[in-house]
Amino acid sequence: MNKVGNSAGQCAVCLGALEEECNDGFPYYLLPTFIRKILGYNPVLTLKPCSHKFHLTCASQWLNESSRCPLGRRLITGSDCPTLLSINPQQVLFNSIENNRIEDVQELLLTGLTPEQLPRTDRCKPLTMASRTGRWEIAVELFRAGWTTDDNIALYNLGMVYCEGEVVERDWAKARLCYRKAADQGDAPAQTRLGWMYQFGQGVKEDFTTALLWYLMAANKGYASAQENLGWMYQNGDGVEQDYTEALYWFRKAANQRDAWAERNLGLMYEKGLGVKQDYTKALSWYLKTADQGNGPAQNSLGWMYEHGLGVEEDFAVAMSWYHKAANQGYAPAQRHLGRIYSADRQACTEALFWYHKAADQGNAAAQYDLGRMYQKGWGVKQDYGNALIWYLMAASRGFAKAERNLGNMYEKGQGVKQDYAEALAWYLRAAVQGDFEAKSSLGHLYLAECLLKLATPASCLQPRRCLDLLTQSLVSGLPGRLSEDSARSENCEKLRIKISASEENSGAI
């Protein structure tokens, strides 16, 4: 019903003429329409305190829809309009929740409406109704005002609202409060969410033991998500001794309920041979089950298996199809794979850059490294050492060894930065300690360039002994073509050993 007017002597709702006042307290609006027509009676209703006047039937219909004066927009309750006997705070509250009118609820709460003013059996209904029907802002308002509920679904939903932080600012404490109340009543989903919070330290100190206990409570009730999480903890040895057999047990229980992540994890265990004999055929079977449910990681794994012919005949077209399905869901590793494949064709570098950026923007270190390499080499883009440096630094901050090695290369050659052998050495060392073979070789090359003898001192930020160990490895097993004479290797190693020993003696280092 729409508000259309406010002329004197005229009903603001229907624009009809106003007749006599309705002041006898009889609820005429309850009479059937045909009786009112027979009586020809449509009295005038005056709303308090605004004193706006309307036909009784018009006001009744309007207030049943909006609970506010059609002119002043003030919230109307029974005390404002005694003639409308059905108008009371409880009815207004339920109508406001049903129609998702948060302003009405806020105004009611400001008038001092509390759960105690409702019948005991109705006190939990408003919050339950708001939470179960997705009226999240209203549910939060009621929860803040002290309204409660014993409904597990409502409590779980409200906990999710506080966890996700989209409707209101994220509040781990309130989320945990809601989950805990439902969990104490035996609600398996809430018990699982509590386990998740303790496993990943969301609003609480990370505690694998407590997480395991909550997962077990829910898993023993047959809740698939809890069973899958238990399997994950046993697979990774989080809070328990690593046990692939136990992990398989829980994954299978969850997979029997078509839990997508359990199916994916079973596929992974068969693919890698974790606790079972490696079996690509079974891995493929499990991946297909969960991929059909839209699981991105499983779709990505299928792409890898079809690309490399693992348990299935190699089929590049099918592999690309699975990669695209996972990538279109935002799964970064699949996006990086697409970038890798497209970058192999210099004519498809634009497509490669698109997918690399998609993955890199999500923090995928491998994609960040790949972008750095494209900018450093000028593959499909204008060569840009500045951009290369930025992407390498992003990947290196995540411990990606190849990016650390390439940063060392850029500092050694002065590409996009001032040539700095000390900085180059530091990056090469970081990559070398992770086992990067080319970084070890670059250390040897840097030494033979007569740079290390000036740098390998205890006063530097480097560790001379560690440097010597890595250099010895690189000089003995350097890349073909980098070092050609064994005698030169031995001689230079000995020079460095003497240099380091002398420096340590002078500094008192052990």
Is 111 a residue whose pLDDT tops 80?
A: no
Give the Cβ contact number of residue 235 at 10 Å. Answer: 21
Residue 442's H or E segment, with its range, is helix 437-448
Read off the pLDDT of each residue in 371-398 and give the average, rounded to a whole number: 93
Average pLDDT, the chain: 80
Read off the pLDDT of each residue in 344-365 and give the average, rounded to a whole number: 91
Which one, of 411, 438, 433, lies nearest residue 424 by Cα?
Answer: 411
CATH topology of domain 1-84: Herpes Virus-1 (3.30.40)
Of 145 and 87, the one with more pLDDT = 145
Is 398 a residue whose pLDDT tops 80?
A: yes
Lowest mean pLDDT among 152-156, 258-262, 469-473: 469-473
Q: What is the largest CA-CA distance in the chain?
A: 120
Lowest mean pLDDT among 101-115, 222-236, 413-427, 487-501: 487-501
Of 113 and 275, the one with more pLDDT = 275
Question: 255 near 239, Cβ under 8 Å?
Answer: no
Helix (H, G, I), strand (E, B) or coil at 53: strand
Which one, of 163, 167, 196, lies nearest residue 177 by Cα?
Answer: 163
Given this model, what pLDDT does residue 509 score? 43
- pLDDT tens sequence across 203-245: 999 999 999 999 999 999 999 999 999 999 999 999 899 999 9
DSSP string, 158-186: HHHHHHH-SSS---HHHHHHHHHHHHHTT
**Residue 166: pLDDT band by 50, 70, 90 thresholds?**
confident
- pLDDT tens sequence across 32-77: 444 444 445 556 666 666 667 766 666 656 665 666 666 666 666 5
Which one, of 315, 359, 343, 274, lies nearest residue 302 by Cα?
Answer: 315
Is 451 a residue whose pLDDT tops 80?
A: no
Q: How many residues does the chain have?
A: 510
Domain ranges of the chain: 1-84
Q: What is the per-residue burial (b if ≥16 Cβ within 10 Å, else e) of 408-425?
A: bbbbbeebbeeeebebbb
